[in-house]
Amino acid sequence: QVQLVESGGGLVQAGGSLRLSCAASGLTFSRYAMGWFRQAPGKEREFVAAISGSGVSTSYIGSVKGRFTISRDNAKNTMYLQMRRGGGQDTAVYSCAAREGRLKNDYLIYDYWGQGTQVTVSS
């Protein structure tokens, strides 16, 4: 049974930093591309970042480039999202997802999802 569990969310002041984690179990982690998605109240789910199974390739939505860094530790079956210079537009529920194969930014083709963690950036 595949499980993805996010942690690290919370309240951060504008301009601050936060690191999210996604711990995976029940799958051969290195075979799965992983992604972070977010959904703000009243808005559609939005791709944030993705990383290939090896960790070599990454992809980001334009609004977080240069501020967020996605990474993974395959020995620990864990993926991370380092958030820096947070702004109000980053307030959302952040979810991690896994798909076997290449990294993609379309949430519809991810196979497994975590329950999400709330990130709130206060001004």
Tens of pLDDT, residue by residue, the chain (123 residues): 999 999 999 999 999 999 999 999 999 999 999 999 999 999 999 999 999 999 999 999 999 999 999 999 999 999 999 999 999 999 999 999 999 988 888 888 999 999 999 999 998
Bridge partners of 13, per DSSP, are 122
Distance CA 96, CA 15 (A): 23
Q: Estimate to the nearest angstrom the gap between the alpha carbon of 98 and the chain centroid.
A: 10
Output the DSSP codes for 34-67: EEEEEE-TTS--EEEEEE-TTS--EEE-GGGTTT
pLDDT at residue number 32: 97
pLDDT at residue number 19: 98
Beta carbons within 10 angstroms of residue 40's beta carbon: 15
Bridge partners of 74, per DSSP, are none
Whether the Cβ atoms of residue 66 and residue 49 lie closer than 8 Å to each other = no
pLDDT at residue number 92: 98
